[in-house]
Amino acid sequence: MPRLAAALVVALLVAVGAVACGSSGLKVGLAYAIGGPGDDGFNDLALAGLNRAQKQLSGSISSVRALTARSDETPEDQYRRLTLLCESGYDPVIAVGFTYAGDDPSDSPLARAAKDCPHTRFGIVDDDSVRAGNVANLVFADQQGAYLMGIVAAEESVTGTIGLVGACDVPVVDRFLAGYQAGADRVRPGVRVLDGYASSDPSSCDFTDPGPARTAAARLYAQGADVVFQVAGGAGTGVFQAAVDSGAKAIGVDTDQYRTAPPQLRPVILTSLVKRVDVAVYDFIDQVVAHRFRAGVTRYDLADDGLEYATSGGRITDLVPVLDAYRKKIISGAIVVPASSR
């Protein structure tokens, strides 16, 4: 979704508080990840899923409310956002992003809210550590999609050195790194894979500021990497900027970033790993509407198109047959992609 359109829709949701869709039905709440809407990525995808549910399930939904997040917020702020929604009658409530699981899943913002609001059905995107009878974990086999990105990077690299820049070193980013390394090594044994991070502190992982991501990427390009995969959300724009500065290439994440990035950055973007957060959010709401809520893990992968690769710009047209062949091998189980690099 274009940044301006997303911003306008969310401004309406937040300013009005609730958007009427009918006289009765569910009240659906959504709590954004840090950075909020307008990131042309993770948050905007969640918003797209909410908007789709609001439109297609309008007869079963009476109102929706989306609450944004500050970059300097604390776990207590996140807890209060979730409880504000549930205490205001919103059910289900969707927490966007693993930060709602905190450092201690048993005492995290989501775990506390789920305990305090036992009759509210919660969904959390990108975390499977918070387990409760009223929590659905909406996660992705990120390593599978990253495997394909590793193939692209290794095939497109001239130097034989590629890189990955994450927002910080946390398990979800490590899944990307594991798949990326495995895919690259499969098609180009001995390829050198460097990794860097926008933040060295996992407890203050920032997916919004492009400056540190640009610095981290510049460091990898200076070490010989000529393709860098960004896994830093909205902050990943900095990776594209560093690629332009270095005359190198990059790979996007979450959305088709060739379409959402500023025109001057598009020439460096080979492809993007598209993560269908919008589908996960819509499916979750649809299941609640249909009285089919299921606690625990629902995992989206290549088999159900929960992960896709973008072809905008025509930069990887010649690799499509190769990627499709490896995609089929992963789906069939002929290739099992590691979920950890450690």
Domains within the chain, CATH numbers bracketed: 3-140+277-300 (3.40.50.2300), 142-274+311-332 (3.40.50.2300)
Q: What is the pLDDT of residue 8?
A: 33
User: CA-to-CA distance for 35 and 31, rounded, in angstroms?
Assistant: 11
Q: What is the pLDDT of residue 202?
A: 79
Q: What is the pLDDT of residue 58?
A: 82
Give the sign of the dihedral formed by CA 151, CA 156, CA 161, CA 164. Answer: negative
In terms of Cα–Cα distance, which of 88, 90, 21 is closest to 61? Answer: 21
- The DSSP secondary-structure symbol of 91 reads B
At residue 91's C-alpha, the angle toward residues 17 and 66, to 5°, is 30
- The DSSP secondary-structure symbol of 167 reads S
How far, in Å, are 63, 219, 293 from residue 287 at the CA level?
17, 45, 5
Q: What is the pLDDT of residue 103?
A: 87
Contact 244, 237 (CB under 8 A): no
Q: What is the pLDDT of residue 22?
A: 39
Q: What is the pLDDT of residue 71?
A: 77
Q: What is the pLDDT of residue 288?
A: 97
In this structure, the strands spanning 296-300 and 135-140 are parallel
Q: What is the pLDDT of residue 42?
A: 87
Q: What is the pLDDT of residue 204?
A: 75
Q: What is the pLDDT of residue 35?
A: 78
Q: Is 228 helix (H, G, I), strand (E, B) or coil?
A: strand
pLDDT by residue for the chain (342 residues), tens digit each?
A: 333 334 334 433 433 333 333 346 899 999 999 878 888 888 999 999 999 999 999 889 999 999 998 878 899 999 999 999 999 999 999 999 999 999 899 999 999 999 999 999 999 999 999 999 999 999 999 999 999 999 999 999 999 999 999 999 999 999 999 999 999 999 999 999 999 999 988 777 878 899 999 999 999 999 999 999 999 988 999 999 999 999 999 999 999 999 999 999 999 999 999 999 999 999 999 999 999 999 999 999 999 999 999 999 999 999 999 999 999 999 999 999 999 998
Q: What is the pLDDT of residue 18?
A: 39
